Structures are given as C-alpha cells and as structure tokens.
Amino acid sequence: MSITRRVFLRNSALAVVGTAAVPSFLARAAWGAAEPGTRTKRLVVIFQRGAADGLNIVVPYSEPQYYAMRPSINIPRKAVLDLDGFFGLHPSLAAFQPLWQQRQLAIVHAAGSPDPNRSHFDAQDFMESGTPGVKSTEDGWLNRSLHNLPQPLPKTAFQAIAMGPSIPRILSGVEPAIAMNNINDFSVGGRNPKPSPAATAFEAMYDHSSDTVLHGTGEETFDAVKMLKAADPSKYKPAPGADYPKGRFGDSMRQLAQLIKANLGVQVAFADIGGWDHHVNEGATEGQIANVLRDFSQSLAAFWTDLGDLGEDTVVVTMSEFGRTARENGNRGTDHGHANVMFVLGGPVKGGKVYGRWPGLDQSQLYEGRDLALTTDFRQVLGEGVARHLGNKNLSEVFPGYENQPGKFLRLLG
C-alpha cells in the first residue's frame, strides 16, 4: 500500500514538473537520469561549523543540573518549546515545531564523534572523513557512500554537490563531486543558451590537459555547466510558504532545492553554516545563539516546504564537530565540549521522538567531568541513512574501522 501511495506521489510530482516545464523533463530523459520506477534517494548533510551548543538547542529542561550549571545562559523552562516533557526546543527553533508534530523531524541527543579531540579543525576533519582518530583517511564518507550502490543510478555531474566555493572534505574522493557557490554564476561567459566561444575553448583546454588535479575538476565542471543550462533551474522558484531567510545558509538551501527540483540527479548534498563558536556572550533566548538558530531552522524548514513531494525521498541530517562545556564559562559563553545533538528530517523519518540514551548531567555523569557524555556514535546515525535510505549496505567501506551493524541502528528511518 505504501508503494502505491509513493508511486502516486511521485507521478503527481512529475506531472506538475511536466506541465510547468517541458524542456527540463526532456532534458532529464536526455540525460537518462531516472527511468520510470527508479527513484533518486537523496541524503543531505548539514554541518554546523564551530561546535554548536547542543544543550541550548535541544534543552534538557527537566534537569535541575542544567540550570545550576548555566546560571546566565540557560533557556528558562517556560521559554522552551516542549517536545516530550523532558526536552524542549530553543524558542528560535519554532520553525521546527510543525515538522516535529508531523513526525518528520527526529532528534538524536548526546550524539557525535567519540574522539576526545577538542580542536575544531581536527574534529571537523574526523566527522567528514568518517574515521575519528585516523588522520590518514584521504576521502570523505559522503563521497564513499556513493561507491558501489547496489542499484546505481546513471552518473550525473550533480550526483554529489556541495553548496559553497570549494569541495569540502566530506565529499572529496573518487566519486565526481562539484562545488557550487551560486547557480547564477555557474557558467562561462554569461548565461546564454548556447556555449560561448570562450567556454568551448576552456573546455577543450581542460579536457585535454595533462594536469591531473585540474583536468578532472575541469571535466566535471563543464559537464555540470551543460546540464545546468539544459535544466535551467532558475525557473524553479521557491514554493509558496518556503520563506528562506536572507544570508548564506538560506541561499545554499534555496539553491539546493532548485537543483533537486530541476531533477539533475542529486543523490548526496552538503551545505554548512558557521557562527556557533560562542565562547563569549552566547546569549539564551535572545542573542548570538538565538540568531544563528533562527537562520538555521528557518532555512531548513523552508527547504522542506520547498521540496514538497520530493521530500518523500529526501533525508536531511545535521551535525557539528563537538558540543560545548556543560557549564557556562566566565564570559557567559561555553568552551569546547564533547557530545552534541543531531537533527534528522525527511520523508522516511520516524520523527516526533528524541532518540538515543540520555547520559545525565550530574558531575559523575559528565565526560571528563565537564562535558555531555556521548551515547550515540554519529556513524550509527549516518550509517542508517547510508544503508537504509541510500541503499548502500557496505558500511565497512563507508565507515572503515567502525562496526555498524544493522541490528544496532536506532531505527529512526521507516
């Protein structure tokens, strides 16, 4: 029955696309992106760079210790948006509330990387390589997640995309991936339907170049430019109600939705949002963290609304390199800590629930006496997404050195 419903949703989505935009439909067929019946499952990963303060994001408001340790930056009980009687959302995450109520949004608390490292750079690196503690890993887990898919979709230049000026660690590797800062700038010599003579010359140069670093990127780039021209994503305006906030992250999510709606074969995507490193004056219900959380949640909620039926096949996972100290520091801020909170949003998500074991905030329960302890390895959450959503069961290749058994999944995907 669920298959019928999905096929129906899928067909109606196609019908809408088809009537509104015939050329893209043709382009899709020409590129051979998807045969009828096969569907592009998408995994979107969001990185909160700078170590977000998970305890002030999904607040354990029933823990007296929480208030004792954060006298000036706590989120008062009456201000949180209650989730389950124990946890509550920071009030700036109001945009998440409907997603939670519709059970499309799940939360995993006390999750993250088990590595004790508190360096932003290294910890981000570990979470992107998918191998905490191992520096020699050369590629990123999101890239590896596309290796040897059981039913590989035809490769397209857009199968793996990072919103930003460069390919992040998480997407580097043998699978072609592209970085895109701005859809409108993604061409050579202007946005004419026909390639400019300069573009032709550049393409020839890079195609035949013996420069191993530049050649590969050049080739992927020109494939993508051509595809993008054919699909013309500029005609996919945000859906009604998808109100992206102004700013870099909102722009990233808006453009990512455009690419997905233009049916370019996006399978894995990555975007990041900075501004979480609140050592000083973190704020509580208002202030620095409130502002960045508003940007974060409104962008994701708009993305979700914008995707419409395409959300059925989309899973969004958020992560941050580590959490922050359970106690506030001397400057009404927090220092580098350990475990954090992850959000999982999507069609197949069994939402409306906080997953993972809560370790508690008593002194004896804290990691190294100062931070939220870790009870869920981030690879357990991501592994479920890779195996059960993308369909790549070969998790020992995606997360080498981590025993990710299907039996141990949190089962937050339906």
Partner 1 sequence: MRVGRTKSVCVRSAVSLLCFGLACVVPQLLAKKKDKDKDEAASSAADQRRALHAMNRLTFGPRPGDVQQVMAMGVDQWIDLQLHPGKIDDSALDSRLEPLRTLRMSAKEIAEDFPDGQEINQVMNGKKAMPSDPARRAVYQVQLARLQERKDRKEENKEKEAVKNAITAAIAEKNNNESSAKASTTTAANAASDAVNVTAENPAANGAATDTNGAMNSAATNPATDSGATSNDNSMAAVLPTKATPEDQEQARRREEQLYTDLEVQQLPSLPPDQRFKKILGMSTAAQVALADSLRGGKGQEVLTGLAPKQKETLLAMNNPAGVVTNELAQAKLLRAIYSQRQFEEVMTDFWSNHFNVFVDKGLDRLMLTSYERDVIRPHALGKFEDLLVATAKSPAMLFYLDNWLSVGPDSAKALGIPAHPGPYGYGRRYPPRPNPGKRRDGLNENYGRELLELHTLSVNGGYSQRDVTEVAKVFTGWTIEKPAQGGSYKFDPSMHEPGPKFVLGRRIKFKGEGEGLEVLHRLATSPQTAHFISLKIAERFVSDDPPPALVDRMAKTFLKKKGDIREVLNTLFHSPEFWDDETYRAKVKTPLEFVASAVRATGAEVDDALPLTRQLNNMGMPLYGAQPPTGYSMKAETWVSSSALLNRMNFALALTSGKIKGVKVDATQLAGSTPPQSDSALTLSTLEANLVAGGVSKQTHDSIAAQIEAAAKNGAERKPDNKAASRKPDSAALPPDASTIAGLLLGSPEFQRR
Binding to partner 1 by residue 189, rule CB under 8 A?
yes
Can you tell me which of 4, 36, 185, 193 binds partner 1, judged by CB under 8 A? 185
Closest CA to 24 of 364, 215, 262: 262
Binding to partner 1 by residue 209, rule CB under 8 A?
yes
Comparison of 71 and 241: residue with beta carbon closer to partner 1: 71
Amino acid at 249: F
Closest CA to 315 of 343, 345, 341, 342: 345
| Contact of 265 with 31, CB cutoff 8 Å | yes
| Contact of 352 with 400, CB cutoff 8 Å | no
Can you tell me which of 65, 196, 365, 375 binds partner 1, judged by CB under 8 A? 196
Binding to partner 1 by residue 182, rule CB under 8 A?
yes
CB 391 to partner 1: min, Å = 26
Amino acid at 126: F
Of residues 336-365, which lie at the interface with partner 1 (CB under 8 A)? 336
Can you tell me which of 35, 84, 211, 362 binds partner 1, judged by CB under 8 A? 211
Binding to partner 1 by residue 205, rule CB under 8 A?
yes
Binding to partner 1 by residue 88, rule CB under 8 A?
no
Binding to partner 1 by residue 218, rule CB under 8 A?
yes
CB 4 to partner 1: min, Å = 33
Residue 27: CB atoms within 10 A of its CB come to 20
Can you tell me which of 72, 148, 184, 234 binds partner 1, judged by CB under 8 A? 72
Distances in whole angstroms, Cα of residue 96 to Cα of each of 92, 106, 366, 409? 9, 10, 28, 24
Binding to partner 1 by residue 191, rule CB under 8 A?
no
Binding track over 221-250 against partner 1, x by CB under 8 A: x--xx-------------------------
CB 208 to partner 1: min, Å = 4
| Contact of 312 with 14, CB cutoff 8 Å | no
| Contact of 262 with 230, CB cutoff 8 Å | no
Can you tell me which of 44, 47, 50, 374 binds partner 1, judged by CB under 8 A? 50
Binding to partner 1 by residue 208, rule CB under 8 A?
yes
| Distance of alpha carbon 375 from alpha carbon 360, whole angstroms | 11
Binding to partner 1 by residue 64, rule CB under 8 A?
no
Show the tokens assigned to 141.
Answer: 């887990």
Binding to partner 1 by residue 2, rule CB under 8 A?
no
Residue whose tokens read 């004896």: 364
Cβ-based neighbours of 98, under 8 Å, separated by 6 or more: 301
Show the tokens assigned to 346.
Answer: 């999507």
Closest CA to 262 of 217, 315, 306, 199: 306
369 by Cβ neighbours in 10 Å (0-12 / 13-18 / 19+) ranks as exposed
| Distance of alpha carbon 269 from alpha carbon 145, whole angstroms | 12
Can you tell me which of 279, 294, 350, 353 binds partner 1, judged by CB under 8 A? 279
Binding to partner 1 by residue 165, rule CB under 8 A?
yes
CB 257 to partner 1: min, Å = 18
With CB under 8 A as the contact rule, which of the stretches 7-15, 38-46, 157-165, 398-406 interacts with partner 1? Answer: 157-165
With CB under 8 A as the contact rule, which of the stretches 2-10, 199-207, 292-300, 390-398 interacts with partner 1? Answer: 199-207
Comparison of 101 and 331: residue with beta carbon closer to partner 1: 331
Burial 196-222, CB ≥16 within 10 A → b, else e: eeebeebbeebeeeeeeeeeebbbbbb
Can you tell me which of 2, 3, 19, 213 binds partner 1, judged by CB under 8 A? 213
| Distance of alpha carbon 193 from alpha carbon 124, whole angstroms | 40
CB 206 to partner 1: min, Å = 6
Show the tokens assigned to 148.
Answer: 């040897």
Can you tell me which of 12, 62, 101, 166 binds partner 1, judged by CB under 8 A? 166
With CB under 8 A as the contact rule, which of the stretches 16-24, 148-156, 204-212, 355-363 interacts with partner 1? Answer: 204-212
Residue count, binding to partner 1 (CB under 8 A): 63
- φ/ψ bin of 332: left (φ > 0), alpha (ψ from -120 to 50), beta (otherwise): left
Helical spans, DSSP H, in 232-364: 248-261, 288-307
Can you tell me which of 200, 285, 375, 394 binds partner 1, judged by CB under 8 A? 200
Write out the residues near partner 1 by the rule CB under 8 A.
49-50, 68, 71-72, 116-122, 162, 164-167, 172, 178-182, 185-189, 196-198, 200-202, 204-206, 208-211, 213-215, 217-218, 220-221, 224-225, 274-275, 277, 279-280, 329-333, 335-336, 368
